[in-house]
Amino acid sequence: MNLRIPGPTAVPPEVLQAGAAEMINHRGPEFAAMIKRTTEGVKTVYQTQNDVATLTASGTGAMEAAVVNLMAPGEPVLVITIGEFGDRFVKLVDAYGGRLTEQSYQPGQAADLNRIEDALKANPDIKLVFITHNETSTGVTNPILPELGKLVHRYEGTLVVDAISSLSSVPVKTDEWDLDVVLSGSQKGWMTAPGLAFVSVNQRAWEKIGKNPQPRFYFDLKRHTDSAATGQTPWTPAVSVWYQLDKAIEMMLAEGLENIFARHARAGQMVREGVRALGLELLADEGVESNTVTAIKVPEGVDGGKWLNVARDEFDTVFAGGQGSLRGKIVRFGHLGYMTDADLQDGLQALKASLDRVRQ
> Contact letters (x/-) for ligand PLP, 124-163, by CB under 6 A?
--------x-x-x-------------------------x-
Contact between 323 and ligand PLP by CB under 6 A: the answer reads no
Q: Give me the least distance between CB of 60 and ligand PLP, in Å please.
A: 3
Q: Give me the least distance between CB of 56 and ligand PLP, in Å please.
A: 12
Distance CA 298, CA 307 (A): 9
The residue count for binding ligand PLP (CB under 6 A) is 12
**Contacts with ligand PLP in 81-100 (CB under 6 A)?**
85
Contact between 56 and ligand PLP by CB under 6 A: the answer reads no
Q: How far is CA 271 from CA 119, 127, 143, 181, 277, in A?
A: 36, 39, 20, 31, 10
Contact between 54 and ligand PLP by CB under 6 A: the answer reads no
Q: Long-range contacts of range 297-303, CB-CB < 8 Å, 24 or more positions apart?
A: 297/329, 297/330, 298/328, 298/329, 298/330, 298/331, 299/355, 301/359, 302/355, 302/358, 302/359, 303/328, 303/358
Contact between 123 and ligand PLP by CB under 6 A: the answer reads no
Contact indicator for 349, 24 with CB cutoff of 8 Å: no
DSSP state of 28: S
Which alpha helices (H) appear in the chain, and where do they start and end? 13-19, 29-46, 59-70, 84-95, 113-122, 145-154, 203-211, 221-229, 239-255, 257-277, 304-315, 341-359
**Contacts with ligand PLP in 2-31 (CB under 6 A)?**
7
- The single residue among 164, 209, 310, 339 that binds ligand PLP, judged by CB under 6 A, is 164
- Choose the stretch contacting ligand PLP; rule: CB under 6 A; options: 55-63, 106-114, 148-156, 255-263: 55-63
Contact between 165 and ligand PLP by CB under 6 A: the answer reads yes
Contact between 290 and ligand PLP by CB under 6 A: the answer reads no
Residues that bind ligand PLP (CB under 6 A): 7, 58-60, 85, 132, 134, 136, 162, 164-165, 185
